[in-house]
Structure 1
Amino acid sequence: MLFAPVNPHNRPSARASPAPERTRDPFFDNAKYLLVTLVVIGHIWGSLLPAELDTVRGAYVVVYLFHMPAFILLCGYFSRGFTGRPDQVRALLARVLVPYLFFTVAYRALYTVIWGSPFELTPTEPTYLLWFLVALFLWRLTTPVWQAIRFAVPAAVAISLGAGLTGMDYELALPRVLMFLPWFVLGLRLRPEHFHRLRTPLCRAAAVVILLIALASAYVMAPSYDVRWLHMQYSNDDLHSAWPDYLVTRMLLFGASAVLVAAFFALVPTRRTPFTALGAATMFPFLTHGLLVQIGQAYGAGDQLARLGAWAVVVTPLLGVALSVLFSSAPVRRVLRPVVEPRFPRRLVRDQPKEQDRASPTRSLL
């Protein structure tokens, strides 16, 4: 699953019995499922639909303003207990690095088949959506650093803004790793009570108004807005922006994203829903839907969707929901588990000394 907490508890006494795994909060599983579905929908819009559809473009802008920040914020929130213990490193390697390497091969093979491109493996240059696994790997490794320093969020914001003023290449997806960093660090600083404060009728009503205003504004701005600002991988030179204008625009985007992220979490159901259980398996739709999107792009699915015009805003979310449900289903998980949630050989990572054992093992990393 794409998010799961790292156990932060102190070790028990020698006679203490293993503590039972904590009950899952349906709020977070609901949020995870909704976010991964928005990722699927966003990739359908970005890869299959023409930019001239202002209605779709406006919705695309709103979704991209908050869905990855919210996604990354939850990654940070569930990384709060990461200290680099051997069991945590083992989980990091198994649930992030191994799937990254497997799907790097899968995507490159697919590109060779559908586009005729040479089969070349360059693991240091993430393919398509796999940049997120590289970023998560690096972010989680640096968690102890961000937990130790003061003013971590302002420092991460400064790094993010500075990264946009450089001309770094895409090795290890560093532009995105650094530009999205503040959301991960912010997640590390959050506590359950911060989310509880959004679960009031007033916050929910305000969230609806905020989203409606955002959609209306994005629709008006859609024809002239450069969506590359939202991808967090382009420098000010790439965007043809003077550095003062770039910094101001990025800060405004941070503010707009923060408001929309809060609005999203305010609207997430807090009780169990028909899709709550799917929130425990978000890694599966995240990694696999891109293969179908790329196939659709190669074989003209975008032309069929484009004929729908503004109705594509209705049809594509339904398609995204269908794909996220399909790839989260038990049969698909059963087939893909060896490559999405593999077992990492214990002998390749040192065991935790017995005197440092924890009350319960680390749950699934993602």
Structure 2
Amino acid sequence: MSESVSKQRDGRLDMAKGVLIALVVAGHFLEGMNDWTAETVRLPLTMIYSFHMPAFVFLTGITAKPHGILRRIWPLALLLVLFQTAFLLASPWLDPEATFTWNTPYWILWFLLALIWWLLLTPAIHRFPRASVVLSIAVAASASAMPFAGYPFALGRTLTFLPFFVIGYLHGKDILNWCSSARGAIRGWGVAAAVALPVVLFVLDVDNGWLYGSMSANELNEGAGPGMLTRTALMLVAAIMTAGFLMVIPKMPGTAWSVLGRRSLAVYLFHGFIVKAADPYLPAVLAGNNALSLLLVAVLTVGTLALTSWRPLDAMVRRIGRPRAATAPPRSAPAGVREREPVG
């Protein structure tokens, strides 16, 4: 797709994706500082990880389509193989302790495989919208009790974040419009809740493993029943934070955030190399001054975003990841589900 923003493209999605991809990069640098141990770093990490991937998955669901599934999946599979190989080849220098297995995507690459699974489900979601919402929530709440739903095949995060994709696909446009049009007390309470809830999680010292969405309740020293309650509560927190976040996103297609949003896949795939290269040096900065570490994260994030959103890198990813032309017309929307306009 051209860099110019078409009339059909929703600028709010680009803006939101731009902010979220910046939070992804900042979160990975913050983790490199101390792995959640310093209080100064743990609070912003909790605020980021409480919602940023659920929100990203929700926005991804808005742009998904129920037709041409295979032509959309094979470029993602190709990107997964290429970048899994690239990280494997670079691991002796960037991550010597990394382990690679055929069934587990390396680190950040889980999103590509999870997206493949979600896209495979879109015809069923399209056909059975109400059942899909109920089942996806039930499955996500139960995922922490499933011992097989972990890192292999990205099943843990696929199931944990599934409701956000399903609801984004079925009702995302209406929810986005409602959030954008919210005024007065609704917006105020929504934004206040989005800020307050992660602070509550911080005060309660919720294990950060729950925020990753890839670990079982047993691995987090929790029983199956309490684990389901914890997962349900965290889904609700992420949903409220996502709504509050969308309430403050304007439709401004010409901004740098919009450019980042349109190039978010390239940023996502390439920033990992920079983060891993910086990891050995980051803890030393934290040991000297927490405030300095936060400033360094801001500088590193801005620099990484600038490098990884470079137009040639984005063009390369687009060439690999662009689906071929559709051979069949879109199916009509099921009863009760509004057809969405193309959003890029």
Which amino acid counterpart does residue 215 of structure 2 have in structure 1? Y
Question: Which residue is 2:327 aligned to?
Answer: 352
Higher relative contact order (CA 8 A, sep 6+): 1
Q: Which runs of 5+ in 1 are unaligned?
A: 2-20
TM-score normalised by the chain length of structure 2: 0.85
The C-alpha deviation readout for 1:57-100, integer Å capped at 9, x for no partner, is 01111211110000001111111x222x3xx5223212x11111
Which amino acid counterpart does residue 54 of structure 1 have in structure 2? E
CA spacing shift, 1:154–1:321, aligned 2, 3 Å:
farther
Structure 1 contact 58–218 (Cα < 8 Å) conserved: no
Q: After the TM superposition, which of the residue ranges 224-233 and 189-198 deviates more from structure 2?
A: 189-198
Q: After the TM superposition, which of the residue ranges 30-39 and 224-233 deviates more from structure 2?
A: 224-233
Question: Which residue is 1:187 aligned to?
Answer: 168
293, 297, 310: which one pairs with 1:316? Answer: 297
Describe how 1:1-366 pairs up with structure 2 within 5 A: 22-79=7-64, 81-83=65-67, 85=68, 88-94=69-75, 96-116=76-96, 122-149=101-128, 150-168=130-148, 169-199=150-180, 200-202=182-184, 203-214=186-197, 216-221=199-204, 224-272=205-253, 273-297=255-279, 299-334=280-315, 337=316, 339=317, 341-342=319-320, 352=327
Structure 1 contact 207–267 (Cα < 8 Å) conserved: no
The count of residues paired between Structure 1 and Structure 2 equals 327
Higher normalized helix content (fraction of residues): 2
- Aligned-partner Cα distance in 1 for 2:342–2:73: 9
TM-score normalised by the chain length of structure 1: 0.80
- Aligned-partner Cα distance in 1 for 2:342–2:152: 27
Q: Give the C-alpha shift of residue 122 in structure 1.
A: 3.1
- Aligned-partner Cα distance in 1 for 2:267–2:24: 9
RMSD: 2.9
Q: Give the C-alpha shift of residue 23 in structure 1.
A: 2.8
Q: Give the C-alpha shift of residue 209 in structure 1.
A: 2.0
Instruction: Say which SS state the counterpart of residue 290 (structure 1) adopts.
Output: helix
**Matched residues, percent identical?**
27
Which amino acid counterpart does residue 179 of structure 2 have in structure 1? L
Instruction: Say which SS state the counterpart of residue 53 (structure 2) adopts.
Output: helix
- Aligned-partner Cα distance in 2 for 1:166–1:136: 20
Structure 1 contact 176–232 (Cα < 8 Å) conserved: yes
CA spacing shift, 1:268–1:60, aligned 2, 3 Å:
same
Which amino acid counterpart does residue 341 of structure 1 have in structure 2? R
